[in-house]
Structure 1
Amino acid sequence: MSTPKIAIIVGSTRPERFADTAVEWFHGIAATYDEAAFEVVDLRDYPLPFFDETAPVAAKPPEHEVAKKWEAKLAEFDGFVFSVAEYNHGMTAVLKNALDYAYQAWSRKPVAFLGYGGVGGARAVEQVRMVTSQLQMAPLSGGVAITMPEMMAVGKGEKQLSDYDYLNDAAKATLDDLLWWTKALKSAREAS
């Protein structure tokens, strides 16, 4: 079995997003793992229109050129981590749109979550879990939840995410679980 590839998808495109801080920290921890190759994939690099295909992509491949590039990029990966910002108790519109623009590339692959917001992005992560289940993904039950106090301290320059041992521990536990599922599902996909 070849080395699994895992994408860390930046799920917000706002100019002043916290996602950059969270993803850089998480990617730094992920880079210490030899069992997989990790790549940050930024939704800013895939300016998808609001979903306007003639049919769901589960039934027909997307026609929009950026959507074709998006699905081709996703097909390179064996597992995913989504950074999930919580806006008004929900996921970002750009993340939902990106989820809707692919199907085969998501199917039978695990996904973990790096949530942030008022309650660690928990409400938004739960919404993303429901959507990923429908996309035939394997959403992991654990994850990282960065709450508002940590975000505020980091935003003011008083702390770094790496200063919080419980966040470092959650990231490592998430990566351990994700790597197990990535290897298991990659092996199963290759065998079928």
Structure 2
Amino acid sequence: MKVIGVTGLPGSGKSVVSRVAKTLKIPIVRMGDVIRDEAEKRGSTPGEVAVKLREEHGEFVVAERCVESIKNLYNQDLNEKSSEKSSGNVDNVYMIEGIRSPYEVEIFRKNFKDFKVIAVHSTPKTRFKRLKKRMRDDDFVELSQFKKRDERELKFGIGNVIATADYMIVNEGPVKKLKNVVRGVLKNEMQNKS
């Protein structure tokens, strides 16, 4: 089994990386989904819950939930292969989108041999423009809110994760270019799995 993590500040292009992975039949676990699901249960905002969860259960909580999800997917794939109902994930490669802290990387490295991290980087100006266009529930149209969100992400340690990533992809050009670079990285990792 090979697990590839994706990191980057909001609006950098992590979801594009995931969409490319999906075309290669790589199952994706999104750390943000763990937060959004918990926020819905609590009737709170994802930003507040991201901080609260870590305060209540420690820095590892989101990563541990993602490890559990990946292991469940892997076992499901093994069962499907043995019963010839393959999901198409013949390479047993999985992706975790949305890594934010070195603590999370530590958990993934403990659980998954040869864990790799892809960092996607875009300038704040580019990211703000994308988020205004995207308009997901946790996106902001005010520059001050955008900066506050970046500060929160940086407090989690995302800058350290980006700085120590195995791959750094700059996403300032056309989406097609990003997709081609990502496809090359993912195919390389699929071929080099342990």
What interval of TM-score do these two structures reach, taking the shorter chain for normalisation? 0.3 to 0.5
Provide TM-score, normalisation by structure 2.
Answer: 0.44
Provide TM-score, normalisation by structure 1.
Answer: 0.45
> Relative CO higher for 1 or 2, CA cutoff 8 Å, sep ≥ 6?
2
